[in-house]
Amino acid sequence: MRVVVRRARKRAERRAVPIPAPARTSARTSGRSSARTPARASGRALLACLPGLAAVAALALCASGVERTVAAGARSEARPDSPYSAPRPEIVDRASWLAGAARDQPPPRYDDQVVAVFVHHTDTPNGYDCADTPRILRDIYSGQTGGRDWDDLGYNFVVDRCGTVYEGRAGGVERAVTGAHTQGFNHRTAGVAALGTFTEGVPVPRPMTDAIAAVTAWKLGPSGTDPRGRVRLVSSNGLSRYAAGTAVALPAVAGHDDGYQTSCPGAALSAELPRVRDRAARLQGRGPAAQDGHSGRAAPADPGPLRSVPRTDRRWGP
């Protein structure tokens, strides 16, 4: 037995040559690949220091450990996807347009999910050059946080006539940020504003409505909400169309006037909402029929515990 071990040890010593460092991976390499490469290299380095038969056993243990580590990492990063998820559109981040105009404000508030989208218009001139959109957004921001004394821009997103989507309210575009866009229905919803005024007879640019549909499809995807369906929301403010605490079924893609007594988003843009809903549903990969029942389950009458407390003062929007 000693002879066998001694021979195995000599063979291991002859094989124990320096192991080169793993090659650098490019930025495009996936997290799974890069996590596995250094781990395996470390395993080989360890084996080089182990004698013969012990190395064989260690190899199996090391390989098993590496695979368990990679699998655990993949599980920790994995997120359950809705069968009707849609791709995220290109979004210009908030810092790009806000620049040095930012004011001190309280931290953002969040809800558990987004189950409806309210569409608005900003009631500003239409004949702008899209290169001027950042300046116009700063003006809107200054008006809402200054003269109106709101905590931040009310809308979660703003879309200009060229179809460019801008991040509005702070808090992160990926998250369910509580907006200040539709009094009584700011929870579990997102506000998307069309930059301009779209009263009756005013043309609504197709790139704008396509971009609104893209944002809608993406934001409603995680909750599984059909953009063509209806959802049950609970009014948090008696100044809305409905008394506080009233559960009401509203379109999953609604106009501002569905939840609040206003002419927003304008007759012309309101007339485009059916097409926005259909396009958003197609972007989610849905069939021809609206799934009202599924959408209803996604937004029950009782919203459950919210991660933010409803406010009724004007600081939190109309």
> What average pLDDT does the segment 235-239 reach?
93
From 2-11, 149-158, 164-173, the region with the lowest mean pLDDT: 2-11
Q: How far apart are the C-alpha atoms of 239 and 109, rounded to whole Å?
A: 21
Higher-pLDDT residue of 73 and 207 is: 207
Give the model confidence (pLDDT) of 11-25 as tens digits: 444 443 333 333 333
pLDDT at 267: 98
For residues 76-101, average pLDDT: 81
Q: What is the 3-state secondary structure (H, E, C) of the chain?
A: CHHHHHHHHHHHHHHCCCCCCCCCCCCCCCHHHHHHHHHHHHHHHHHHCCCHHHHHHHHHHHHHHHHHHHHHHHHHHCCCCCCCCCCCCCEECHHHHHHHHCCCCCCCCECCCCCEEEEEECCCCCCCCHHHHHHHHHHHHHHHHHHCCCCCCCCCEEECCCCCEEECCCCCCCCCECCCCCCCCCCCEEEEEECCCCCCCCCCCHHHHHHHHHHHHHHHCCCCCCCCCEEEEECCCCCCCCCCCCEEEEECEEEHHHHCCCCCCCHHHHHHHHHHHHHHHHHCCCCCCCCHHHHHHHCCCCCCCCCCCCCCCHHHCC
Task: Decide if pLDDT at 233 tops 50.
Answer: yes
Tell me the C-alpha distance between 222 and 82, whole Å: 5
Say what the pTM is.
0.70
Higher pLDDT among residues 227 and 99, named by residue: 227
Reported as a pLDDT band with limits 50, 70 and 90, residue 291 is: low
pLDDT greater than 90 at residue 298 = no
How many residues are given for the chain? Answer: 318
* Whole-number Å distance between alpha carbons of 33 and 69: 12
Confidence label for 69 from pLDDT (cuts 50, 70 and 90) = very low
Percent of the chain clearing pLDDT 70 (strictly above): 65
What per-residue confidence (pLDDT) applies to 81? 65
Residue 58 has pLDDT above 70, yes or no: no
- Going by C-alpha positions, the residue among 302, 280, 305, 300 that lies closest to residue 290 is 280
- 85 vs 54 pLDDT, higher one: 85
Beta-ladder partners of 116 = 189
Alpha carbon distance 232, 310 (integer Å): 17
Q: Looking at this protein, which amino acid is placed at residue 111? A: D
Q: Where is average pLDDT lowest: 44-48, 67-71, 76-80?
A: 67-71
